[in-house]
Structure 1
Amino acid sequence: MTKLSERVLSMEESVTLKAAAKAKQLASQGRDILPLTLGQPDFVTPQNIQEAAIAAITDGRASFYTQASGLPELKEAVGTYFEQFYGYTISPNQVVAGTGAKFILYAFFMTVINPLDEVIIPTPYWVSYADQIKMAEGVPVFVDATQENHFKVTVEQLEAARTTKTKVLLLNSPSNPTGMVYTREELQAIGDWAVAHDILILADDIYGRLVYNGTTFTPISSLSEAIKKQTIVINGVSKTYAMTGWRVGFAVGDSEIIAGMSKIISQTTSNLTTVSQYAAIEALTGSQDTVETMRQAFEERLNTIYPLLCEVPGFEVVKPQGAFYFFPNVTKAMEMKGYTNVTDFTDAILEETGVALVTGEGFGAPENVRLSYATDLDTLKEAVSRLKAFMEAE
């Protein structure tokens, strides 16, 4: 008799974390590894945020439990942030904070999903969505967002996937792994469709501040009162403020759903680490200058590396508009090197070149690989140079 639950046995390990762990293992053995796996900014958390955390430790505020759903001051800070960047006001009972946006997503699914409820997910998708839905006994329903349509789905595709069990549409814009961004018009049509069919919208906006080359991020929740009522926004400070290690995520939306998520948190993690809450307050309400500095750095990397990556034989690349990932189709590259499986191809690249990428299989895209450009330009240039040499070798 196995000691493991069917839930765990059927669950996939995160391919991004698995790839990062393998790269670290090889580097520890003395291998020259260039890790392009994790969605982690290479910047240090801004000084003003560090100082706010240190002050909370020094004066004792960080020493104690807080409300499970987050400090009142943090909820007020989220409200201030939404007024500034979303253009509408929220009340404290519409906010819940927790240990990273990933866990906030989990709390949402556990709150709203009943067995066999369906969640529509455009593919390619972030690796943890599907397994979290399955953990809540829901059913992920995948809708193919093709490269020809810049990795975006249409209302017609969503309608074709809708059934009487459809409860949630998951929308991630800017997208991990593709970097695509939906336009206001596209979002309006999708939002109106969801409202018409009483389908909840889960808007994963974690990369909303990281858009490039004149692209505009439009929060779907800002388009109308009806769409806003139908939407739960997931966000956090990890990507925008270079705070991945602080583990701060939050959700904003319907107060009944938020209260349910707070219950889940109260019976699992309890409150988000207190010192991280004080750091997040400063991030959301303090100077935003460093955000723009980092955004400009990502934009420079995107614009510098994109044409170089396009020169790698067999790599077909759509230029991203946001986030910090390239997601090239490598079908031709695999054929050139004699591979039929993208994970095997990715492993071969790591072994032969030292460039650590992430297989597209975990994103629902078995013809693609993901490269993070959340690292310095020299490393990125060297990585692309190695990829080109690998593909050009006989």
Structure 2
Amino acid sequence: MVSNSAGAWVSRGRAAILELLAEQHAAPVVELEARICDRPWRDQPKPIDPHLLTKARKELLTEGLIGEVVATTRGGGEVGVLHLSPIRRGMARSIEDAAARKRLLIARWKSWARGSKHMPNLIGSGGEAVVHQSLLASAPYGYRVLQPTRGEVATIFEQPVPGGALDNAAWLLTMDLRTQTPTTPYLVPIEVKNVRHTLYPNHWEIYQLLHKAAGLANAHPEYPVLPILVCRKAHYRAREFAKDLGFLIFDTHDQYVLPSERIDLTHFEEVRTELGFADLTITNQLNPHLVDWFSGVVHREAQRYAPRFMEFGRHQVETFAALRRERLRWRHRTVWLEELHRATEEHFGNVGSWAPSEVEYG
């Protein structure tokens, strides 16, 4: 019988990392996660959770079975690349060549995500474009998009959005099925996090949305607020967290890149295949699955999720403000997360297992 304990999955993660490095000679962490966490590695029954792969990687580093070399790329960024350790005789040159190649590919990919005065952030803009087109296509199902031409929403109720501009926002009008009359419209703030890492409840990106949404809800409590996060991939514990706090998450399972003449398509394909980024996609068109989700799931779940956010989530502004700080140290983040979990449990009773004491996050 196959064991599904956390320890068993860590052991599978260790084996997968060692096999991958033996095959590739060198690989950055994002490649490990793309090949082992986004899809099953070889004969594994399913993908390995990133936090368990992180534990496996740390164990191997501590035991000296793998090593890491951090070097600066031509673009000025630091990239860490893992390799088997100790380096066997005759393998040093192969590892050095593979590591240099992986650093080059990572630098290319990061250049699409950084943006500059000469070129937009093609990855951030790509995700926002796909969501905007999908939201516009959902308009016949009750959405009034606040900024139909550009997506980004900086002001609502003629006031700046608390905490900064939103990637998108809309009013959602639903119908009372019994009386066939419109209900009070929902205000739907939307943030798009088109990032490679799997989002957990400890990631700051989630709280950027919640902080802004709470500010809007507190300023105008007469309108129920339904926050929506669109990302490449969220962990199931993030879904438990969303259910408890009263917001919705949609996984695209793609990392979008805005079409641009500045992208060399040969280079793009090399990044996809050599780093295992199989979901990297050049597009600015709608996602039909997201349109279906906006049109169906959001309508069905609004009356369940928005009241929770208005009853509890909107009152956690101070906590959200702290947790949205990208550079907040883990020991401090843990304190805020544990307090948020405790307060949620005290308010609602039985809640999900997303506190830091209950899971080692990736």
Larger radius of gyration: 2
Higher relative contact order (Cα pairs below 8 Å, separated by 6+ residues): 1
Question: TM-score surpassing 0.5?
Answer: no
TM-score (norm 1): 0.26
TM-score (norm 2): 0.27
